[in-house]
Amino acid sequence: MKNLTHLMLSLNEILFIGRETFSGLDELEHLELDQSQISEIEPGAFSSLSNLKTLNLSSNKLGFTSPFFVQDFANLSRLEILDLSHNALSNMPVTDFTFQSVESLLLTGNRFRELDRLWIGPNLKYLDVSKNQISVYRPWSNSNESFSLELLDFSSNHLLYLDKDLLEVFNQTHSLLLGDNPFICSCDMLPYVRWLQKHAANALVLDVPLCSYPKYIVGEPLLRLEEIIRCEIPVLATEIGNSYAAVRSSASFVALSVSLIPVLRFAFY
């Protein structure tokens, strides 16, 4: 067992992983623990697995009270693939050293409400956060470290708008999935849509994100927003580097009743 490199424990009824569960397996490189009943992992359970390259914990019952991330993953300096998909995670307390070596991070089918910049390590190539409840991106202001994602799957979340912080992520991403988000297609979105259109030629957006509001353009492609609506409130798009900053006239801040917003802000063909 000491020289074991692959351990497959999938499709079991494991409920708990203790601190000593994998003690002595120093050469282990691939650990499959998916499709079990794991709801608790004791901090330190993976700390000794310094040669681990793949850790699959998908389709378990890990939830908000899973505190093992910071202590364990910071020691997994060779970890390349981490699969935490299809659990019940809503929080992942990590530091800037947690996912330094990870190349593929799979988080689909959880309960996350925000995308944390700290999840994106310097070697990350594939990030799947689809089928969550993410409506916010939380940037990390203390780092200027760049990254280069090959694919970011942001589909099936709760994104209503795009903003400059998200564009900073998209700008360092080769391919992007944004479908099945409830986008509010307003004039405020135009600068960001123009940015996406500009980069679509490089196969940035792989799917077809659609408008969910207002009702007059429900189901219309987000990338055709400028063709579908005419904005009466001026929106100036200023290119700064590779992203756009929206500069709106002061008229856009005038308080309007909800019933008048569609009339004043949109003219539909």
CATH code of the domain covering residue 138? 3.80.10.10
- Residue 243, in any domain of the structure: no
**pLDDT at site 118:** 81
Using the predicted structure, report yes or no on whether residue 250 has a pLDDT greater than 80: no
| Dist CA 90 CA 111 (whole Å) | 5
Tally the domains of the chain: 1
Domain with 95, as residue range(s), is 6-227
Using the predicted structure, report yes or no on whether residue 191 has a pLDDT greater than 80: yes
pLDDT band with cut points at 50, 70 and 90 for residue 73: confident
**pLDDT at site 238:** 42
- Higher pLDDT, residue 143 or 212: 212
Using the predicted structure, report yes or no on whether residue 210 has a pLDDT greater than 80: yes
- Residue 260, in any domain of the structure: no
- Residue 250, in any domain of the structure: no
**Length of the chain, in residues:** 269
Residue closest to 140 by CA, chosen among 121, 161, 163 = 121
- Residue 127, in any domain of the structure: yes
- Higher pLDDT, residue 261 or 178: 178
Query: 20: Cβ–Cβ under 8 A, 6 or more apart, which residues?
Result: none
**pLDDT at site 242:** 42
Quote the mean pLDDT of the chain. 81
| Dist CA 211 CA 227 (whole Å) | 13
- Higher pLDDT, residue 64 or 213: 213
| Dist CA 34 CA 61 (whole Å) | 10
pLDDT band with cut points at 50, 70 and 90 for residue 83: very high
pLDDT band with cut points at 50, 70 and 90 for residue 269: very low
SS (H, E, C) the chain: CCCCCEEECCCCCCCEECCCCCCCCCCCCEEECCCCCCCEECCCCCCCCCCCCEEECCCCCCCCCCCCHHHHHCCCCCCCEEECCCCCCCCCCCCCCCCCCCCEEECCCCCCCEEEHHHCCCCCCEEECCCCCCCEEECCCCCCCCCCEEEEECCCCCCCCCCHHHHHHHCCEEEEECCCCCEECCHHHHHHHHHHHHHHCCCCECCCCEEEECHHHCCCEHHHHHHHEECCCCEEEEEECCEEEEEECHHHHCCCCHHHHHHHHCEEC
**pLDDT at site 201:** 62
Mean pLDDT over residues 75-92, rounded? 92
Using the predicted structure, report yes or no on whether residue 70 has a pLDDT greater than 50: yes
- Residue 24, in any domain of the structure: yes
Using the predicted structure, report yes or no on whether residue 254 has a pLDDT greater than 50: no
- Residue 267, in any domain of the structure: no
| Dist CA 47 CA 168 (whole Å) | 33
- Residue 80, in any domain of the structure: yes
Of 23-27, 39-43, 200-204, 216-220, least confident by mean pLDDT is 200-204
| pTM (predicted TM-score) | 0.82
- Residue 238, in any domain of the structure: no
